[in-house]
Amino acid sequence: MKIVILDALTFGETSLKAFDQFGEVDIYETTAPEELFYRVANADVIVTNKVVISEKDMGNAPSLKLICVAATGMNNIDMDAAVEREIVVKNVAGYSTDSVIQHTFSMLFYLMGHSRYYDEYVKEGDWHSSGLFTHVGAPFFELKGKKWGIIGLGSIGEGVAKIATAFGAEVSYYSTSGKNSNADYTRIELKELLLHSDIVSIHAPLNDATKNLLNYSNLARLRKGTILLNLGRGGIVEEKALARTMNKKELYAGLDVLASEPISDPHPLMEIKHPERLYITPHIAWTSVEARERLIAGVIKNIHNFVKEQEAIFTMTPIVMT
CA distance to 32, 37, 161, 202, 223, per residue, from 142 (Å): 46, 54, 16, 21, 17
* pLDDT reading at 318 higher than 90: no
* pLDDT reading at 321 higher than 80: no
306 and 239 fall within a common domain: no
| CA 193 – CA 153 distance, rounded (Å) | 13
Question: pLDDT digit string (tens) for 157-185?
Answer: 999 999 999 999 999 999 998 888 899 99
- Residue numbers annotated as active site: 233, 261, 283
The burial of 62, by beta-carbon neighbours within 10 Å (0-12 exposed, 13-18 middle, 19 or more buried), is given as: exposed
| Domain assignment of residue 244, given as a range | 97-280
Q: Report the pLDDT value the prediction gives residue 311, as an integer from 0 to 100.
A: 86
- Mean pLDDT calculated for residue range 3-9: 98
128 and 197 fall within a common domain: yes
Task: Say which DSSP state 294 is in.
Answer: H
Q: Report the pLDDT value the prediction gives residue 165, as an integer from 0 to 100.
A: 98
* pLDDT reading at 149 higher than 90: yes
Grade residue 312 by pLDDT with cuts at 50, 70 and 90.
confident
Has residue 189 been placed in a domain? yes
Has residue 321 been placed in a domain? no
Grade residue 229 by pLDDT with cuts at 50, 70 and 90.
very high
153 and 302 fall within a common domain: no
How many structural domains compose the chain? 2
Has residue 216 been placed in a domain? yes
Has residue 322 been placed in a domain? no
| CA 89 – CA 303 distance, rounded (Å) | 10
* pLDDT reading at 322 higher than 90: no
Question: pLDDT digit string (tens) for 87-108?
Answer: 999 999 999 999 999 999 999 9
* pLDDT reading at 316 higher than 80: no
In the chain the beta strands, taken as DSSP E runs, fall at 2-5, 24-27, 45-48, 66-69, 88-90, 147-151, 170-174, 186-187, 199-202, 227-230, 252-255, 278-280
| CA 121 – CA 135 distance, rounded (Å) | 9
* pLDDT reading at 122 higher than 60: yes
Q: What is the CATH number of the domain that holds 202?
A: 3.40.50.720
* pLDDT reading at 320 higher than 70: no
* pLDDT reading at 319 higher than 70: no
71 and 119 fall within a common domain: no
> Mean pLDDT, the chain, as a whole number?
95
Has residue 57 been placed in a domain? yes
